[in-house]
Structure 1
Amino acid sequence: MGGVGKTTLVKKVVGEAKGFDRVITVTVSETVNIEKLQNKIADDIDLNFEKNTEGGKATELWSRLRNGKFLVILDDLWNEWDDDGDLRKIGIPLVKDEKGCKIILTTRNCNVCQHMECEETVQVKVLEDDEAWALFEMNAGLKNADSRVIGEAKKIAKECKGLPLAIVTLAKALKGKALERWKDARKKLERSGLMEIPSIQTEREKNAYISLQISYEHLKDKMPQTCFLLYVKLHDIVRDVALWIASEEKSGFMIKSRLELLNRSSESCKAISLLDSEKKNFPNSLILSKLEILLLKNCNVQGTCFLEMGELKVLSLTVVDGSTGVISLYALSSLQNLRALHLENFDDFSFLGNSRKLEILSLRRSNVNGLADELERLKDLKMLDLTDCSFSSSFFPNVIRRLSQLEELYLSIMTNDICLAIKSLTRLTRLNLWVTSLHFPPDFEFPKLENYKIRINHSSSGLDNRFEEARSLKVEKVFPYNADSQLLGKLESVVVSGIKDEYVECLTNKTQQKVSVSMI
């Protein structure tokens, strides 16, 4: 069943796996997207595809994987796969003559394990009552709580039926709340007959969903509630709850990825999310005067559509690689209330300088060479994402250092002046960076960062699943100790490869044993 901790457990296994060239983790889910799985595997092994077709990519993956030793994690597998069909279609060769892929899978269906003839099956069970209470107590901070609160908390913990996802989510939501809030939550758990969600089959699953609903209701204001409903990547149980809440409340959210629904009732919509990969045309005749959030992928949009979106605050437009569709963006300059903008795979930003109120800007995988003049006019910008963008070597330092309000910066860039530009950003607290060691001056110091993911000398800017922690460092071949020494004491994850043993020893000492130093 979902929410019992299978993914969490397998992540621990990944962290301790040894004897492999690489560990590859892919999330399969109920609806299998072969291209997405292929791209994730390629990123994990630093493979740049030469072919664009599904079959061509499978051949390239097969050729690379059969000549090494790899551990492949197939997380959340819903249906049986076989070697000759599904695995070959993706490009995953099983071990032969000590070369190829060993596979660990997670599934909520025991039949999957039996059909695939797994060598060993580990059943992850729900927590016992004492384990469940210990987990709930820790996450709710109940050590010094009022006895009446503890009484309610024990009843609520029991209603979570031993599911870690429900326990942790609900405990954190109720932490520090008044007694009446605890009573309300307990009553809701006890009396709920729950929902028109097709995937709910047992009492235990019902209470997991209710726990998430209560957690949603305890969010402090509308903004985090909105973010929850406009999910991108969520546990499938959490996703179901988000969709149910959005359909039950008068939220004005369009939660179905079907364009025909827009034509029926669009005038009252506050948020529209159409992020499926199917190519589509956004209707040009809609009245969307109340729309505040618009998320579109692989969707042709005429510029005139934006003229009627005066309240729009958040806009995301993604062009799929290889798409021939053209999205006209000139009318975006009329969106005076726009605060957050995500554009992926674009190359025309002549309108951008007029969006003076922008605070969040993401231009992933875009050509930003003509962006300098426009970007300098965005004085209020707090977050900038230029991951996998192409631009000239002079662009970065001359423009970025003028964005004095930046708090978050995401880059994959190779220029000699990168360090000087970063050092000038005194408000910077979060940094994602891909760079070579050649670009670190001996006396360089990072700003006082709270969160960072830094790759040095690595051949790919993509971040794999071993690199999810808030403070992470990945180094290959040469370790610029002077530049990175100030980060080491706060690290949560270190992955190194091809560096000298004395540097590994130095890393281990400097991190004060708080984090293991993984070697590839």
Structure 2
Amino acid sequence: MDVVSSIASKIAEYVVVSIGRQIGYVLFYKDNFKYLMKAVEELEVASDGIKHLVEIEIRNGKEIEAAVQNWLKSVDDITKEARQFREDPQHAKVGCSKWAFPDLKSRHQLSRKAKKMVELVADVHNKRNFDRVGYLPTLQSIPPNTAFGSSESFESRHSVMKQIMRALANPKLKNIGVYGLGGVGKTTPMKEIHTKAKDDKLFDEVVMASVTKSPDFIGIQDEIADQLGLQLAEKSPSGRARRLHDRIKRVKSILIILDDLCSRLDLQEVGIPFGNAQENLKREMKSIHPTCKLLLTSRRRDVLQEMETEEDFRLEVLNQNEAWRLFEAMVGNVVKDTTIRSIAIEVAKNCNGLPVLIVTVARALRNKDIYDWEEAMKLEGVDNMERTHSALEFCYNWLGSDEVKAFFLLCGIMGPSIEVEYLFKCAMGLGMFKGITTTEEARKKLHKMIVALQASCLLLESDTTAKVKMHDIVRNFAIKIASKDQHVYIPEAGSELIEWPTENFLTRCSMILLFWCHIDKLPERLDCPKLNLFCLVSDDCSLQIPTSFFEGMQNLRVLDLTSMDLPSLPTSFLSLTNLQTLGFEDCSLEDMTSIGALKNLEILCLCNSSITKFPGELVQLIHLRILDLSNSGIEVMPLNIISNLTRLEELYMGNTSIKWDPESSPNHHKSASLAELRQLPNLIALDIEIKEGWILPRDLMFEKLEKYKIFIGDVWKWSGNYETSKTLKLKLSTNIHLEHGIKILLRRVEDLYLDELNGISDVLFQLNDEGFAHLRHLYIQTMLKLSISLIQ
């Protein structure tokens, strides 16, 4: 009986609940419909926020995640269905029928549907949280410049291109070579092959990297990794090589183009599986049968043979007709003048069919008059090398100002691939920017000079603004001119320095650049009274600098010491009173007390260096305009150093662990606080990390900053590529005075990162009620709820 009673009770309970639910549909029809409209409205608000993020990501060149696209489609579908439901003519019957009583059946059906739809809307709403909205697609190669015709438009190139493409399609060939004279134009057809191989889908991945005379393994790895969408977090070249190798082996087929090999390249050191490594790779992944094919270019066939190429193709110079067509296209309408045309044909012949010379000379003569053309006719020489030098000397002489010429030579001795920031610091120290009073103006001047040299084809176009590149032929010419006219000493990078220049040469020498040379021992002293620049990038951190080494360099203006162990600065530092730029990069530094003697120093770079004790003597460098402490080991900043460097225009302290004292701290007399930044009236550039936002002074203003990278909070990593000049990262749970200095930054921010938006409604309105007129990139993490309405 108890079992029967229990069953009956359950049945009765179910029936009562079911009947109650059905009656509820009738009684709460208006409420259910109201809840539905409110849920739809909230969903549309959330959808608008995501759509704003989507628009920003698209403007930033990102692809939108499929999950986000699917969610937005489901929002459109459910809101469209809700609108149609709202217009359902059945709603007119739920009030009163012709007997003045509600149509209970229609009321029940519509109410029940409304409640079900509320549940569907809520389900869609709850799925709106995404790890990310967009992602950067794999970098595509920059298409070759075909404004003056592709390689295939020249018959001498067309046949070779067809042969190379056939070799690439041949599954038996894994290693293919292309060789030809320097300046013959090997890079352009390689770029065209890169594009064609991708477009024709000959391989799953196609990547290209430049090698150059002194291979930069990290640079090569970065070029390949960028094109594969891979971030190399490892610091050591070997760790990066293993990561790159692992990424390549996951591709079914890949073509790797390595351009401009000057000697044998250790592929294993780069991270490219080939030879035994490729055979091992095949055995590891039998189900995929991965193929890694190489296409290598070099000036010398013996280098290709050392790389064990299986088939090589020679690229010849352009014939006379092809050379004239290219020259005519580059020089413009001036050659239509009959008095100039005959001269132009001879000038084009003197360029020896080398595209690099044809383009450079033609650009130099564009829009010039008959007298300039007659001067160009003097290009001559008994062999190709002399003619090449003569042609480049003509273009060099037409650069105009001595300032641009000096900068061209500086690029040459620093090249072939040069960091623009490094160029800037050296050029500043050498006094190349005449009449310039601020670093901002100097940077603009630098940019104009780079553009001028690129327009003259003496610098190559680059796919990044951070570096400039120079063709080897042009660079060799620049080094020859600098060595002759300015007595520059620059042995080949990586060579063994057995014998130093003669005393006679050193007394006239203006620059010494030792890049990764093998040096057993430095001389006790170098007497170089005219020396302006000394650069030593060591391959041996144990190399010692003798105490008297710099005593004979009183006129030195730029000193760069890289990868050295310096327990103390040599006492001869005291004689470097004319020094303008000093760089210690990747150095181990301890006692730096001598640095206080460098009274005229304007630029000091200590980036990537280990500094056990920050020198208090820095306070004596009252002319300092740029201080770079990025990635250094500094943890404590002594009191009143920063605040006394009142001429500072640029201060970089990114990726450091400086422990800033609060202004009100009882220990404030020992360490610096951020309040010292108030004393820098000329500051226009700032990189800084502030782990604890509450120590940021309330009245610290940033209205003069033209360039900044400021991270506030303990959740941010300094690493990454930042494409803009104004980056701000905020952890909003930190106690930050949003109404003061931060709002000044937000008005002009271009890259904005936000973390922990929990509980902040319409957060962007709270942060900046004036809008974000300059915002280009917006990144949000740990987002629970976000409504965006102000991004223009």
Cα 1:289/1:376, change in 2 over 3 Å: same
Aligned with 2:520 (options 274, 280, 299): 280
Matched, 1:487 2:726: no
Cα pair 1:267 1:286 within 8 Å, conserved = no
Cα pair 2:487 2:511 within 8 Å, conserved = yes
C-alpha deviations, 1:350-408, integer Å up to 9, x for none?
1112211001211122134533522222121122222321211x529964454332334
Aligned with 2:626 (options 371, 375, 383): 383
Cα 1:227/1:462, change in 2 over 3 Å: farther
Matched, 1:363 2:606: yes
Quote the offset at 1:309 in angstroms. Answer: 1.7
Cα 1:57/1:371, change in 2 over 3 Å: same
Aligned with 2:245 (options 49, 62, 65): 62
Matched, 1:30 2:271: no
- Cα distance in 1, alignment partners of residues 619 and 726 from structure 2: 30
- Cα distance in 1, alignment partners of residues 289 and 691 from structure 2: 33
Cα pair 1:213 1:241 within 8 Å, conserved = no
Aligned with 2:646 (options 379, 382, 404): 404
Structure 1 counterpart of 2:750, one-letter code: L
Match of 2:477 in 1: 241
Aligned with 2:572 (options 305, 318, 331): 331
Match of 2:488 in 1: 253
Structure 1 counterpart of 2:488, one-letter code: F
Cα pair 1:434 1:458 within 8 Å, conserved = no
Match of 1:373 in 2: 616
How many residue pairs align between the two structures? 471
Match of 1:516 in 2: none
Match of 2:403 in 1: 220
Match of 2:414 in 1: 231
Cα pair 1:166 1:212 within 8 Å, conserved = no
Cα pair 1:365 1:388 within 8 Å, conserved = yes
Quote the offset at 1:240 in angstroms. Answer: 0.4
- Cα distance in 2, alignment partners of residues 28 and 412 from structure 1: 30
Q: Report the 3-state secondary structure (helix = DSSP H, G, I; strand = E; otherwise coil) of the residue aligned with 1:315.
A: strand
Quote the offset at 1:332 in angstroms. Answer: 0.7
Quote the offset at 1:79 in angstroms. Answer: 6.3
Aligned with 1:193 (options 380, 387, 395): 380
Quote the offset at 1:288 in angstroms. Answer: 2.3
Quote the offset at 1:271 in angstroms. Answer: 1.8
**Mapping of residues 434-445 of structure 1, within 5 Å:** none
**Mapping of residues 9-408 of structure 1, within 5 Å:** 26-32=209-215, 34=217, 37=220, 45-49=231-235, 58-59=241-242, 61-63=244-246, 66=249, 76-78=259-261, 86-93=266-273, 107=297, 183-184=371-372, 186-193=373-380, 209-210=392-393, 212-214=395-397, 218-220=401-403, 224=407, 227-228=410-411, 230-232=413-415, 233=417, 234-249=470-485, 251-256=486-491, 258=497, 260-263=499-502, 265=504, 266-298=506-538, 300-319=544-563, 328-344=569-585, 345-348=587-590, 349-368=592-611, 370-392=613-635, 394-395=636-637, 399-400=641-642, 402-408=644-650
- Cα distance in 2, alignment partners of residues 491 and 99 from structure 1: 49
Structure 2 counterpart of 1:487, one-letter code: E
Supply the RMSD in Å over aligned alpha carbons.
6.3
Match of 1:517 in 2: none
Cα pair 1:219 1:225 within 8 Å, conserved = no
Between structures 1 and 2, the one with greater helix share: 2
C-alpha deviations, 1:62-112, integer Å up to 9, x for none?
34654689999755332698xxx9433422247976799978967466976
- Cα distance in 2, alignment partners of residues 477 and 69 from structure 1: 42
Structure 2 counterpart of 1:346, one-letter code: S
- Cα distance in 1, alignment partners of residues 549 and 223 from structure 2: 34
Quote the offset at 1:47 in angstroms. Answer: 2.7
Q: Which segment drifts farther, 214-223 or 435-444? A: 435-444
Structure 2 counterpart of 1:214, one-letter code: N
Q: Which segment drifts farther, 217-226 or 233-242? A: 217-226
- Cα distance in 1, alignment partners of residues 708 and 252 from structure 2: 30
Cα 1:218/1:132, change in 2 over 3 Å: farther
Cα pair 2:726 2:748 within 8 Å, conserved = no
Structure 2 counterpart of 1:255, one-letter code: I
- Cα distance in 2, alignment partners of residues 189 and 318 from structure 1: 43
- Cα distance in 1, alignment partners of residues 355 and 710 from structure 2: 31
Cα pair 2:750 2:775 within 8 Å, conserved = no
Q: Report the 3-state secondary structure (helix = DSSP H, G, I; strand = E; otherwise coil) of the residue aligned with 2:259.
A: strand
C-alpha deviations, 1:177-197, integer Å up to 9, x for none?
xx78x945x44532223599x
Cα pair 2:725 2:750 within 8 Å, conserved = no
- Cα distance in 2, alignment partners of residues 307 and 227 from structure 1: 25
Cα 1:86/1:254, change in 2 over 3 Å: closer
Structure 2 counterpart of 1:308, one-letter code: G
Q: Which segment drifts farther, 262-271 or 353-362? A: 262-271
Q: Given the two structures, how large is their TM-score scaled by the length of structure 1?
A: 0.64
Cα pair 1:132 1:157 within 8 Å, conserved = no
- Cα distance in 1, alignment partners of residues 186 and 376 from structure 2: 21
Cα pair 2:257 2:295 within 8 Å, conserved = yes
- Cα distance in 1, alignment partners of residues 677 and 359 from structure 2: 37
Cα pair 2:598 2:621 within 8 Å, conserved = yes
- Structure number with bigger Rg: 2
Cα 1:3/1:124, change in 2 over 3 Å: closer
Cα 1:491/1:75, change in 2 over 3 Å: farther
Q: Which segment drifts farther, 91-100 or 364-373? A: 91-100
Q: Given the two structures, how large is their TM-score scaled by the length of structure 2?
A: 0.45
Cα pair 2:245 2:272 within 8 Å, conserved = yes
Q: Which consecutive unaligned segments of at least 5 residues does structure 1 have? A: 511-520
Identity %: 23
Cα pair 2:750 2:777 within 8 Å, conserved = no
Cα 1:5/1:446, change in 2 over 3 Å: farther
- Cα distance in 1, alignment partners of residues 248 and 261 from structure 2: 24
Q: Which consecutive unaligned segments of at least 5 residues does structure 2 have? A: 1-181, 200-204, 418-469, 661-672, 733-741, 752-771
- Cα distance in 1, alignment partners of residues 720 and 678 from structure 2: 24
Cα pair 1:381 1:405 within 8 Å, conserved = yes
Quote the offset at 1:151 in angstroms. Answer: 9.4
- Cα distance in 1, alignment partners of residues 474 and 774 from structure 2: 29
